[in-house]
Chain A
Amino acid sequence: MSLDWWAATLRFTHISASLFLLGALAFPLYARVDPLPRQSINALALTALGAGAAWIGAMALGLAAETPSVEWLRALLFSTEFGHAWLLHLGLTALLATLVLFGGRGILVVAIAGVQAASLALFGHSAVLEGWQGGALIAAHAAHVLGAGVWMGGALSLFVFLGKADMAAGNEIVRRFSRVGYAAVAAVALGGALNLRLVVDVWLPDIDNTYGALLTAKIALAGAIFALAAFNRLFASKPERRKILMRAIVAEHLLFLAVVLLAALVSAQAPHG
């Protein structure tokens, strides 16, 4: 497997774990229940940290024009814009993992998880513009990522809760999740659309190149997740359809992982290449 494939695999693992972690940590704040076992939260935090460190290492190796030296690595990390962003992101991931492993929960830990996820916007395609347009692109990407994390990580916690809750408690938590879900879905859709417009200057990608084809597939899968979410809200959220709702949440998660995988592949492609 080439270094690019390793980087894409590690990016996929890191982003998936980070976003699930954010949503799972935020869920108790609005749902007022904490169904995910501590071991699962710890595993997400450790996966995010391990895959994140390895991903940044793979990206650094991919930039080496000659045999990497300590001096070169120091210049890469401390004298470049993206090096600073890598260090910030990795530092936040390490801080978050440490807090989570020591049992940290609550609004401060969720805020750190949010900043950690949002800091993904500081490197890659979203960091390419300058001035106020650059700030807008980073904000759009951050909103996209935060919405995805709160939505999908929350849906994971909801799934676990529904598996063991009685009917009345389940209905109340579904209602609380749905309220937050609207805002999260809006952030994903709006942030994604702005991102697309600002990076490739179109509202719909061109499928004639690899970047556009991958992005089109990503948007199509995201559309399927939106459709499933609407189906859940309008049809499957009725108490007597609990099993259908749980199956639909599993389907949403599988689609979400496919979307993150495509996002990991898109990041290595040139927007018009």
Chain B
Amino acid sequence: MFRHIARLAIAAMLFAAMAPAASAHTVLEQSWPRAGEAVALAPASLRLRFSERIELVLARVTLISARGESAALGEPSLEAGNRRTLVIPLAGPLVSGQYEVTWRVVSADGHPSEGRFRFSVAP
């Protein structure tokens, strides 16, 4: 029995050494517009790429202007074939100024994450 266990252990360790690891609870890896970016052209949508698969039905995103007004957002969706990227269409054009995006998502393993970032529209 010990020989079988030892063989299994060696095979499993070799396999694990080659496999990639999970990184952490979900974090925002990239966004469009990027955090701190000043875009010349107002975006038609917000795109948020996370480090893990997320659950669309539990995703919440708000967009607030520097004057404290909420921008109207469309129904969020996931990028086709990619459960890590959330796409939120803007219901109308953004006027010049600074905006803050607040997001809250739950990853496919059931852990919640939240955060915020700012960008500005400066034609």
Contact = CB atoms under 8 A, between A and B. Distances in A.
A57 B30 CA distance: 33
B109 interface: yes
B57 A183 contact: no
A154 B26 CA distance: 38
B80 interface: no
A271 B25 CA distance: 7
A136 to B, nearest CB: 6
Interface string B53-70: 101111010000000000
A138 B32 CA distance: 33
Interface string A79-93: 111100010000000
A128 B52 contact: yes
Contact of B16 (A62, A183, A186, A198): A198
A182 B112 contact: no
A128 B16 contact: no
Interface stretch (A30-38, A119-127, A219-227, A236-244): A119-127
Interface residues of A, number: 39
Contacts of A200: 21-22
Contact of A123 (B12, B13, B19, B110): B110
Contact of B58 (A75, A272, A273): A75
B108 A186 contact: no
Contacts of B55: 79-82
Interface of A: 59, 62-63, 65, 75-76, 79-82, 86, 123-130, 133, 136-137, 140, 179, 182-183, 186, 190, 193-194, 197-201, 270-273
Interface of B: 1-2, 5, 8-9, 12-13, 15-17, 19-25, 52-53, 55-58, 60, 104, 106-112
